Amino acid sequence: MRNRNLEAQFTLFPIDTEPEVPPDDAASDGVALVSFRELVPEINDTGYLTHAIYAYPAKFIPQIVRYAIKTYTKEADWIVDPFAGSGTVGVEAYLCKRNAVLLDLNLLLNHIMPLKVYRGKEILSEASLYKLLADMRESNEQFTPAWSNVTYWYAPEILEVLSQYWGFINRTDVGIYAAIIKSALLKVSKRFSYTEDRTPKLARSKRKLNAIEALLKENWREQLDEMVQSLSLKTLRDLNDFVVYTQQDHAEHLGQVEFRGGVDSSDVAVPRVCDALITSPPYLQAQEYIRSTKMDLFWLGHTEEEVQALSRLEIPYRKADRVIQTETLDKVREILTRDDLRKRLDSYFCHTVNALENSMNQLKPNAAACIFVGNPRIDGITVEIWRILVEYFTERGWTFEKVHEDRIKTRKLFGARKNKNPDGMKSEFLLILRKNAIDQTTAPQCGPLLQDAEVPLPAPKKSPDSDAS
């Protein structure tokens, strides 16, 4: 069966790593040049503690989140993230004795967070984990995902074993050991499928078909079991490290993390007034996170109807309900010659701004909105997302405080696909906006876009070096 969705997908996700040395350490165009890895030296591994338990595309690295938390919040503050993704903001908030409200369109958030922010106080037993794994291997339970194309993605004998393991674990009483094994099974279910497991993208490849065919001639069942066990054991040990860190070193205050996956951040009610927003919206040309994780969602018991309904709300497939206008965005829109790209641009800024505005309206006066974005290219034209957001929100009474540029020293890009911009983005930007004490709804809706900004806005770059389409 041919996958009809592949031609319509235009997500940019990484696989290959290429080092890059910045030409100098000087600031560019007045933007403050920083290295968040150097500013937050206490984090020397982006996957420390529970951050690496789940694979997720385009993860928010914890150093950026930690910097924003330490700089713009204090202990016991509430932070909102309307594009929560894999929950990095929630984990860092919890570790820094803050509280967090996480919202995301992807239902996977509801499965990720109970494990990544584990609230248990006792060290977990490896013997108990091994016992549950042994019971799983002997089980006769069966579970087949409610996915019409499931047989397209698996060899029959592998699908039978995975269905047995998932049948047992989905019917086991909910507990931490079952959750640990589920997290391992998600990775194994992808690795032993026909999808190209070196990218988050769900796409069947000739390389993977040949790899599975060769694997079936070997002791594949033993390799599958070993992978489930090793991943489960690693997660258990990561959780034990998390328990030690939170209970012994920070037991005097454990924050709260509230999360809701499967919701549209544009209109879902943020349940409380918050002290800061820290978020990283989806990339302009890389928003298909549900399509990239739908194999996981099906194994976790979600239906095709649920996944399809949420997929239709992802930015590439959703029409704009209003046109966002700023000086910079209007110029980009005028230059574009393709109507489909204009529609994609309008869709992106409409729904991104809607979600940001919905959460930012729930911030206290003088609260900071910390928004981490790239400057991608669309049809060869650089789109300075941070500048467009500054123009939009300062027109509505927010104060532009600063923007940090973080040069990307390692890039991950597709090696085989036809990429018009093979160099990728060379920088990403942390934009800081400050909510004024006045009611934002009464802020001027017209007039000079930047007249209220305390800090002059740097001039647009004439020779863009950002690239991600």
pLDDT in tens, the chain (469 residues): 333 332 333 222 232 333 333 344 444 455 889 999 999 999 999 999 999 999 888 788 999 999 999 999 999 999 999 999 999 999 999 999 999 999 999 999 999 999 999 999 899 999 999 999 999 999 999 999 999 999 999 999 999 999 999 999 999 877 999 999 999 999 999 999 999 877 777 889 999 999 999 999 999 999 999 999 999 999 999 999 999 988 865 556 678 999 999 999 999 999 999 999 999 998 886 667 888 899 999 999 999 999 999 999 987 678 999 999 999 999 999 999 999 999 999 999 999 999 999 999 999 999 999 999 999 888 889 999 999 999 999 999 999 999 999 986 654 444 444 444 444 557 899 999 999 976 544 333 333 333 333 445 565 554 333 333 2
Residues 109, 134: one domain?
A: no
Q: Could you tell me if 107 and 138 lie in one domain?
A: no
Is 450 inside any structural domain?
no
Asked if the structure places residue 465 within a domain, the reply is no
| CATH at 100 | 3.40.50.150
> In 248-389, where do the E strands start and end?
257-261, 274-279, 363-374, 377-378, 381-382
Interval 430-446: pLDDT, tens: 999 999 976 544 333 33
41 and 81 housed in the same domain = yes
Do 295 and 397 lie in one domain? The reply is: yes
Same domain as 142, residue 28: no
Terminal CA-CA length for the chain: 29
What is the total count of domains within the chain? 2
Q: 């549209």: which residue's tokens?
A: 264
Return the CA Rg of the chain.
23
Question: 265 with 329, same domain?
Answer: yes
Strands 410-413 and 78-81: unpaired
CB of 86 closer than 8 Å to CB of 117 = no
Question: Does residue 467 sit within a domain?
Answer: no
Phi and psi based region of residue 311 (left: phi greater than 0; alpha: psi -120 to 50; beta: remaining): alpha
Residue whose pair of structure tokens reads 């004795």 in the numeric block = 97
Domain of 158, in residue numbers: 126-245
Task: Assess whether 236 and 261 both reside in one domain.
Answer: no
pLDDT digits (tens, 9 = 90+) for 241-293: 999 988 865 556 678 999 999 999 999 999 999 999 999 998 886 667 888 89
Q: Are residues 140 and 289 in the same domain?
A: no
Q: Do residue 37 and residue 85 come from a single domain?
A: yes
- Specify the pTM: 0.85
Three-state DSSP at 402 gives: strand
**87, 102 contact by CB (below 8 A):** yes
Domain assignment present for 178: yes
d(CA 383, CA 400): 19
Query: Do 108 and 135 belong to one domain?
Result: no
Does 375 map to a domain?
A: yes
**Residue 411 within any structural domain of the chain:** yes
Using DSSP bridges, classify how beta strands 410-413 and 16-19 pair: parallel, antiparallel or unpaired: antiparallel
Q: Are residues 268 and 391 in the same domain?
A: yes
Helix boundaries (H) for 73-107: 88-95
- Tally of residues, the chain: 469
d(CA 69, CA 276): 9
d(CA 406, CA 236): 34
Burial of 100 (0-12, 13-18, 19+ CB in 10 A): buried
Does residue 142 share a domain with residue 70?
Answer: no
